Structure 1
């Protein structure tokens, strides 16, 4: 089908016309190294120019929606300099004709005036210039002209005096280059004098506000206007460059674009108190870097890092064009097929809330945990684990609402999927909870629940919830660990076993550990003696007088089906023996009899052991390692209820 490209489109774009939507042809496509960025060469049939393609359009090229020869319409684009070369940055486009022969004989576009002296990109294109009548001059003609020696009438240098007009003396005529006049460098003009004699700031014009989805590293000055939808707490880190602190916040603009902004150290101190969730800000002069997908769940290939020159200005939200939040909800039934550690948005009716309980983290810090169960119209329910301060804020509010007979709607923004005890969702530092939000999904879910949804059955995707159980438990016996080959798959198995401790090794029940802090956590690496009194940590490369002691407890557990060995570390060791490893070590040194009494008092006690079972390699031998994650003394009232429920379950 014949088509006419937009005349002079390349020249218009280079001149700053960004409002038209020209038709151009793609005459070359190239993938730039491993950067996952594509470069076009676009033509208007007469001129052509380089164009960089925004990464959100990569799929169109990979799926052959745009190819060499395609006629496209540029619907959103900018023109900018990159490494002294003028390029077009394509932010959005539409394919008009997929396959077409190359139209015309396009040449690389050369700007008129002073900008024509800028170097053109050398990408196997013929360099060309124009004469005073704007006619194209071939490269061969240019070489012929360059071979001529310009001299003035007086024989002096061409650049001596502004009124000298050069002539050419050559055996060859230059009639094939009509009206050609070489550019003469103008005489030096002193810079203008300014009255205040102060420092001069270049380009004081305000940066142009652009959509978040249009941000790319090839832009110069930019600004975005967006709402803060999430704000993280400051975090400490330690790496090869030393200690530091960092915090991040997420932005959403009126076109639905999202991006994460990160601040380090002094920049954190400058902006942390300024940033408030829900407020709108004008942000500029940040640097754009590839998003770290391990920590950034937003659908953007870039993230912004603010520096000392960055500006953050609070803006009035006059027209309300920027939404409060952007959700991409998944039905609970879909979560069963979502990979572990994925970040999702879910919404559901709260059907139960467990009390908040203290949990000791691996770094020795205590936090809070609360379990909430959600269900939706997909016929499935899921367990949501709340961590930290959110347990006593939103968690307590949900518990109070449920106690008063209300079943609130809860929307979860950026929950993390895990597959411990089946699929469940947990909160992370960027997770946000919205109780009864004023959004269409919330109203639809409430209407479904009130009109009969609450009476329909639902199935938990977080394994079977057994009434009376502490958490969704996969109960096993000791013999089942071996008979079912637990721990021999790629991922560890997590089970709960009710068993009795029959023996504890006391010769090496703990180890000497480094007490130094790395960021907000203790090092805990094993240390060795340094001299007669000190200790040395190879990891921290420091010496200190006092070390710490941590459990490395080897215990034999058994039930009516068999026995096995398990390893208990610090927290679970304290739950079994009832005291810290350091206290027990000092007691062994001072009162061996009292030490023996404490160990014997723990033997033949029944515990509900939460076990992690994983096959590991020791030398050339594969062994299944059983680790005690938690040891709870049996609550016989709850255990009796559990056994009665199991009897009823199997008698149906």
Structure 2
């Protein structure tokens, strides 16, 4: 029979950061796998590869077998007509060619489809519209501590709480370009590790990962951490692949309290340039957006936010690109209205431009008015009166 492309329910609009209109025949990537691990995803666009009535089962009448594909994976599903199933079927196109190069998600289904008659349904048969079991070789309860990971280990499962999720951002290299995002997790023993994904894998997981939520995950490439961009204590990091499986935990991981070591602004006077640091301070000024032309002739927006800490030294935090607009506008409005603002800046780099500065990047995380012990002294101190200005500035110091 001919193939047709269908979706269950109306198609969801692409996320705001999607580029360009979606191709109406572009299948939802990795939807089959996401459904099997229990993810709550928008109605997917799938291709129906086959649909036939099953025979040989005396206990059930009119059971139908479907083979569905998302372009990467395909899966056999059983549709029992005795069950009451309510769903919307929106046929987009009929008589179309095979989209993508799908392979079976379950090995036993592949073996069953290789020319053999379909055996009677068993307890493992998957029912379309019913609760689905987790895929084979997915996360198990045999959890390994993060500290036990090594680059030569393939079969591992870890569980942890997301402590820092970074924004998706684009990268450009001489060989390729794409998009990337990363997040950090901590386990019950207090061990941390960074997890990074690229391109389509990043698109798949970005909206599923929530800061503060806990996940069980398995299958990924464990490699040596790039300490130029990663300042966690872990010497390793994980790169997610097509076979990686992430599942949100019903119960959150409760590990030891993570205490961030904030660098006092007066210590930045002697900190080597390009060092990754975390700082906390009171916002004393928010500048306007300026347009900077880089060496590669590309233009980028920049906004300077001045902060000071208990040392009363003031330093510029340079916001670049989207953060100069989104975060920058929020800080500008709050500061202009007279709101007392404490800003946390994590994973930023020490730089030098007419003195020491802090440069934010796509991997920098921000928090406004955090509820942490380190913010209390700043709240008790309150804003420094204008009569005490100008503050001794960390901007005028020796270039290291």
**Which residue pairs with 1:304 in the alignment?**
238
TM superposition shift of 1:314: 1.5
How far apart, CA to CA, are the structure 1 residues paired with 2:306 and 2:231?
24
**Number of residues paired by the alignment?**
268
Unmatched segments (≥5 aa) in structure 1:
1-194, 465-473, 475-489, 492-652
1:272 aligns with 2:206: yes
Q: 1:454 to 1:226 in 2, by over 3 A?
A: farther
**Which residue pairs with 1:528 in the alignment?**
none
How far apart, CA to CA, are the structure 2 residues paired with 1:410 and 1:284?
35
TM superposition shift of 1:416: 0.9
* Residue 230 of structure 1, aligned match among 165, 173, 189: 165
How far apart, CA to CA, are the structure 2 residues paired with 1:246 and 1:204?
24
**Which residue pairs with 1:252 in the alignment?**
186
* Residue 219 of structure 2, aligned match among 279, 282, 285: 285
How far apart, CA to CA, are the structure 1 residues paired with 2:246 and 2:137?
19
How far apart, CA to CA, are the structure 2 residues paired with 1:428 and 1:418?
12
TM superposition shift of 1:449: 3.0
After TM superposition, the structure 1 stretch with the greater mean CA deviation from structure 2, 286-295 or 328-337, is 286-295
More helix by share: 1
**Which residue pairs with 2:144 in the alignment?**
210
**Which residue pairs with 2:338 in the alignment?**
405
Larger Rg: 1
TM superposition shift of 1:212: 2.5
Q: 1:306 to 1:456 in 2, by over 3 A?
A: same
How far apart, CA to CA, are the structure 2 residues paired with 1:261 and 1:235?
17
Alignment of 1:95-106 (within 5 A): none
TM superposition shift of 1:310: 1.1
Q: 1:453 to 1:443 in 2, by over 3 A?
A: farther
How far apart, CA to CA, are the structure 2 residues paired with 1:232 and 1:205?
26
Q: 1:438 to 1:363 in 2, by over 3 A?
A: same
Deviations 1:211-242 (A, max 9, x none): 333322354532222233122324244455x5
Q: Secondary structure at the match of 1:459?
A: coil
Native 8 Å contact 1:207 1:284 kept in 2: no
Q: 1:204 to 1:254 in 2, by over 3 A?
A: closer
How far apart, CA to CA, are the structure 1 residues paired with 2:287 and 2:138?
58
**Which residue pairs with 2:81 in the alignment?**
none
**Which residue pairs with 2:284 in the alignment?**
351
Native 8 Å contact 1:225 1:282 kept in 2: yes
Native 8 Å contact 1:332 1:378 kept in 2: yes
* Residue 459 of structure 1, aligned match among 389, 392, 396: 392
Q: Secondary structure at the match of 1:346?
A: strand
Query: What TM-score, normalized by structure 1, do the two folds share?
Result: 0.37
**Which residue pairs with 2:349 in the alignment?**
416
How far apart, CA to CA, are the structure 1 residues paired with 2:247 and 2:261?
29
How far apart, CA to CA, are the structure 2 residues paired with 1:395 and 1:254?
35
How far apart, CA to CA, are the structure 2 residues paired with 1:369 and 1:250?
27
**Which residue pairs with 1:295 in the alignment?**
229
Q: Secondary structure at the match of 1:336?
A: helix
Alignment of 1:386-535 (within 5 A): 386-449=319-382, 455=388, 458-463=391-396
How far apart, CA to CA, are the structure 2 residues paired with 1:244 and 1:368?
21
Higher relative contact order (CA 8 A, sep 6+): 2
**Which residue pairs with 1:583 in the alignment?**
none
**Which residue pairs with 2:89 in the alignment?**
none
TM superposition shift of 1:363: 3.5
Native 8 Å contact 2:145 2:187 kept in 1: yes
How far apart, CA to CA, are the structure 2 residues paired with 1:311 and 1:262?
13
Alignment of 1:294-333 (within 5 A): 294-318=228-252, 321=255, 327-333=260-266
Deviations 1:421-468 (A, max 9, x none): 11110111111111110000011221123698995873111129xxxx
How far apart, CA to CA, are the structure 1 residues paired with 2:286 and 2:189?
37
TM superposition shift of 1:364: 3.6
Q: Secondary structure at the match of 1:232?
A: coil
After TM superposition, the structure 1 stretch with the greater mean CA deviation from structure 2, 265-274 or 440-449, is 265-274
How far apart, CA to CA, are the structure 1 residues paired with 2:253 and 2:387?
39
Native 8 Å contact 1:348 1:410 kept in 2: yes
Query: What TM-score, normalized by structure 2, do the two folds share?
Result: 0.59
Alignment of 1:582-597 (within 5 A): none
TM superposition shift of 1:347: 0.6
Deviations 1:27-76 (A, max 9, x none): xxxxxxxxxxxxxxxxxxxxxxxxxxxxxxxxxxxxxxxxxxxxxxxxxx
What's the RMSD between the two structures over aligned residues?
3.4
After TM superposition, the structure 1 stretch with the greater mean CA deviation from structure 2, 251-260 or 306-315, is 251-260
